Amino acid sequence: MFFRVNNSHIENGTGTCIWCKKNEKTNIAHIISKKLLKSDHKNNKLTNSVCEKCNSYFGENIEDWIFKYSPISFWVGRDILNDMTLDADRSFIYKKLFVWFKEYKEWFVATNIKGKKFPSQIIKKGDGRFYFYIYKKDKLMRENYLMEIQEIITQLQKKNYTTYLSSLLPHNFHSRIFRFNDTPIVIARNDDQAELFIKKILEVNDVKKILLKNYRMRNNEHRHLIIFYKWSLKKYSKFYLKIIFEYQSLIKGSEFVLGKEFDDLRKSAKLKNNSFVELMFLNGQGFNRKLFPRGYFQIIKETLDKEFKIPIFELELLQKYTFSMILYKNQGYLCASLKLFEIEQFNIVLAKIEAPLESIYLITYSADDNSLNFYEPVNSMVDFDEKLVLNMEEANLYDFN
C-alpha cells in the first residue's frame, strides 16, 4: 500500500464543541501537545471546535499529569529538547530518583532541586550501624550535624514523618530517612523493613553513635540512575483518544464527529477512573514492563464477535517518526492506532458508523526535521474490509472503561 502527502486539510468547525456538544466559547486546541513538537504547526490546531472548558479539562487533568509524573518526559528530553540532563527536565522534581555511587557502594536519594540534588540521609547499612551521609567535599564539623540528626529522630518520635515503600527498589538498597521540605521520609522496600528501621533508630540513645560520612560524585565515576515514574493506562488512553478524535474532526469536519455514534467515546474520555502504578526506569536497561498490551481497546457498548478480526497496522515499522497515527474503517467499525516515541502502539475501536470513510488516513510527525504530515493512499478505496493485506489477526479486546 502506497501513500502520498496531503496536507490540505482545513478545520470545518461549526462553533459547537465536539466534546460536550454545547455552543460555548471556543479557544485554540492543540491536538498534539505543544510539548511534543519542536515548533507550532497550523495543521495541529482546532480553533472553532473545542470549548474552553473541555480544552482545559484535557490540559489540567490529563496532559499536566502525564508530563509531570509519567515517562513521557524521558523521550521529550531526548527527542524534542535534545537534552537528557537532569537539569533540563524540571518534571524530575515530581519523581523519585536514586543514584548509585560506585565508590561508596550505595544508592543515594536524589532530587532535581537546585542546591539540594543530594540531600543528607541516615542509612542503616548491612553491618547494622547507622550512617549520616552529607553531600559535601570538605571535612565535616561533627557538631554542625548532630542537631540535624536529633531533629529527625524527634520528628520520628512524634510520628511526624511519611514513608515511601516500593518492592521495585534494588535488593541492595538499604533503608534510610531523609528530609524533604522539612518532613522526614522513611524509604524502604516494604513495611517490615520500614518498621525495623524506625524501631532501631529510635533505640539509639546517643546521636553521637551515628557515624558521619561525606560523599561526592566524581566526574568520571560510573553510575546507575533509577527513576520511578507513574504510569496510568487510563490517563494515557484518554490522552491518545483526545489526539485521535480531534484529528478525526480536523480531517472529516465537526459535523461528522458530532454524531450520536460517538457519544460513548465522549463519555469515556471524561471518566474519572485514573488509577496508576509505579514504573521503574534503570539507566542502561530501560523500563521494567510493557506499557500497552497488544490488542484493541473498545469503547462501544455492544459485544464484538470473538471471531471479529481487526487489521493491526504495524506502526513500529515507522521508526523514524516520533508520532504516527492511522485512522480507518473496518467491517463497519471506525478504528485507529497511535504510536508515540517507543511506547507500544495504542489500538482502539472508536465507534460503529454507517457513513463511509473515503480513505485511510495516516499522520506522522518527525522530530528530526520537525515535519507534521498527513497521508492518503494513492488508490481510491471506500472501505477495505477485504483489501487490507497487512496483519489480520484475532485481536485481544479490552474494555476502555
**256 and 170 in a common domain:** no
> Domain range for residue 135?
119-215
pLDDT value of position 93: 78
pLDDT value of position 305: 59
**190 and 252 in a common domain:** no
**45 and 20 in a common domain:** yes
pLDDT value of position 382: 43
- Asked if the structure places residue 153 within a domain, the reply is yes
Cβ-based neighbour number of residue 126 at 10 Å: 8
- Asked if the structure places residue 348 within a domain, the reply is yes
Greatest CA separation for the chain: 82
- Asked if the structure places residue 65 within a domain, the reply is yes
pLDDT value of position 390: 46
Query: Residue 188: beta bridge partners?
Result: 165
**385 and 269 in a common domain:** yes
Angle at 133 between CA 127 and CA 139, to 5 degrees: 115
By C-alpha distance, which of 372, 236, 396 is closest to 312? 396
Which one of 215, 245, 267 terminates a domain?
A: 215
- Asked if the structure places residue 289 within a domain, the reply is yes
Tally the domains of the chain.
2
- Asked if the structure places residue 281 within a domain, the reply is yes
DSSP string across 349-385? EEEE-SS---S-EEEEEETTTTEEEEEEESS--S--T
**299 and 379 in a common domain:** yes
**239 and 378 in a common domain:** yes
pLDDT in tens, the chain (401 residues): 567 888 888 888 889 999 999 999 999 999 999 999 999 999 999 999 999 999 999 999 999 999 999 989 888 888 888 776 666 666 777 888 999 888 888 999 988 777 778 899 999 999 999 999 998 866 657 777 888 999 999 999 999 999 999 999 999 999 999 998 889 999 999 999 999 999 999 999 899 999 999 888 766 555 688 889 999 988 999 999 999 999 999 999 999 999 999 999 999 998 887 788 888 888 767 787 788 877 778 776 665 655 566 667 778 778 889 999 999 888 888 989 999 998 888 888 898 888 878 788 999 999 999 999 998 877 654 433 333 334 444 456 566 65
**168 and 235 in a common domain:** no
- Asked if the structure places residue 111 within a domain, the reply is no
- Asked if the structure places residue 86 within a domain, the reply is no
- Asked if the structure places residue 221 within a domain, the reply is no
By C-alpha distance, which of 307, 287, 310, 288 is closest to 297? 310
